[in-house]
Structure 1
């Protein structure tokens, strides 16, 4: 397969990211990180909503309790109830580091795994001073035994949850490790074949294939569970960021994109950059894993 994605929602997101499909609402959620904004699109109604947050939103997860999201804000984790706009902080992350929360996803057991992103104050090279973490169901936070990271990305889990995919976008390699109570030895899963590209967000489909958005290359690709390049979908924007498999049968691939860093000439050449794109695929997605919270006192806060 080598298809071209079309526009699903015409937008100008500076850094659209983190898209997930909520089956219960038949809606897509995603973030524009630089605009500190959470977006929602109800596909049946064509209704588009957004919420401005107090700081940049790097990633998030659906919660088992309807109406709640777990947010990975730049400096902290928090629960958010869009209907009431209730924001309940959980914990700060890397408060003493020049980093922010970046990519994240729930594992198959309902725990939230995320990583951080180095933001050097002097604008210099990004260094692997960040880490990967897991927020457990009891809200305890643990650092995973994975290498340091400069730009965490590509966090995704195999259908059975026994493998975790991840990357540092400063290198062209997507890695994989055995996953359980801790992370086992890591190995190379796939490598981008073009020096102009970087691996960005990933998801796994029902057959165990890994979809990866390739920043700078205007494409999303699918790798087989063995790491073989299987198919490619071109995106009319050079900076695709993440995908979600949604729709009634979870066979529509929705793709966020970014305008970040593009000069006037580049924007003129790709006026759709920052939009939400879509393409039909042959392999359906998995139900989106949900965080197994929030705790009862958070639910009570919203209902009081």
Structure 2
């Protein structure tokens, strides 16, 4: 029987497009972004405080940990290293931070393209996809970055992508799950060779769009459903195992966090909703959470 859980709002805010929730055990906080505003947020669960760490002029679509401290950010057409050195003031104003240091800049097809979702694998490499902001089909890609500074090396892994979104790996690293959102499916790839070899489809959707996703310690795949008011958990054989109902339609991503990695954090968006829809969804754009009884996997840091 499919388990059903209810998400609760832990931070009532009106993010335009909340994204990239990332648990940082070093500080006991959850990082998350508001993409079009270029905002990097730091949410502290114990106090319930959310601090705006930085606001950038470019869209901030993804954030990852760095093994040597600090963060990796996907900003517009650039992946950059970033360190926020100021202490937590406990308010919601912007705190002091260093300037991001470019690690890799991408020659995207046009000014109407930008980087989108990204994640590090167990080898400490950062995978980052791109997208067209005007709905152009098949003109984007999925890339992999490794190395530091001027020695960073970029490999293009997949081409012909439209909106590169959720990506994560099975606990043993042999299988990857990936969502190119307009395809309305989560694809399955074999990772035992030098590249990605598609082997099948985990799930298909008709009236909702797969966005960000994460894999738990048991190998279950949690998929945020944009337009679906939910996060779904699928077993590796494609069985729908659990549903997390979210009181906001545009669910964008999810990640496990907390000291025991038992809390599923969920980001949402408010962009594009009419006044009537915003009235029906007063918590659209908020940060949600639930405890579904499953343990997550710590995020891998970037090795460079």
Q: What is the TM-score normalised by the length of structure 2?
A: 0.90
Q: How much has 1:180 moved relative to structure 2?
A: 5.1
SS in 2 for 1:45: coil
> 2: distance between equivalents of 1:49 and 1:77?
22
> 1: distance between equivalents of 2:249 and 2:48?
26
> 1: distance between equivalents of 2:106 and 2:142?
11
The residue correspondences of 1:123-272 to structure 2 (distance < 5 A) are 125-138=135-148, 139-144=152-157, 146-179=158-191, 182-193=194-205, 195-272=206-283
Q: CA RMSD in A?
A: 1.4
Give 5+ residue unaligned stretches, structure 1: 294-304
Q: Which residue of 2 aligns with 1:92?
A: 105
Distance 1:256 1:228, change over 3 A: same
Q: How much has 1:183 moved relative to structure 2?
A: 2.4
CA deviations 1:176-234 (Å, max 9, x no partner) are 111256323213332334x2200000000000111000000100010112221110010
- Residues 214-223 or 183-192, more deviating: 183-192
Distance 1:292 1:181, change over 3 A: farther
Distance 1:56 1:184, change over 3 A: closer
> 1: distance between equivalents of 2:229 and 2:195?
32
Segments of 4+ moved more than 6 angstroms = none
Q: Which residue of 2 aligns with 1:301?
A: none
SS in 2 for 1:265: helix
> 2: distance between equivalents of 1:88 and 1:184?
29
Q: What count of residue pairs does the alignment treat as equivalent?
A: 286
Q: Which residue of 2 aligns with 1:114?
A: 128
Q: How much has 1:277 moved relative to structure 2?
A: 0.4
> 2: distance between equivalents of 1:174 and 1:147?
16
CA deviations 1:236-290 (Å, max 9, x no partner) are 0001111111112111111000001111111111010000001111110011110
> 1: distance between equivalents of 2:192 and 2:77?
26
> 2: distance between equivalents of 1:32 and 1:184?
30
CA deviations 1:139-158 (Å, max 9, x no partner) are 111101x3411111111111
Q: Which residue of 2 aligns with 1:61?
A: 64
Q: Which residue of 2 aligns with 1:5?
A: 7
Give 5+ residue unaligned stretches, structure 2: 86-96
Verify: 1:103 aligned to 2:105, yes or no. Answer: no
SS in 1 for 2:160: coil
SS in 2 for 1:17: strand
SS in 2 for 1:79: strand
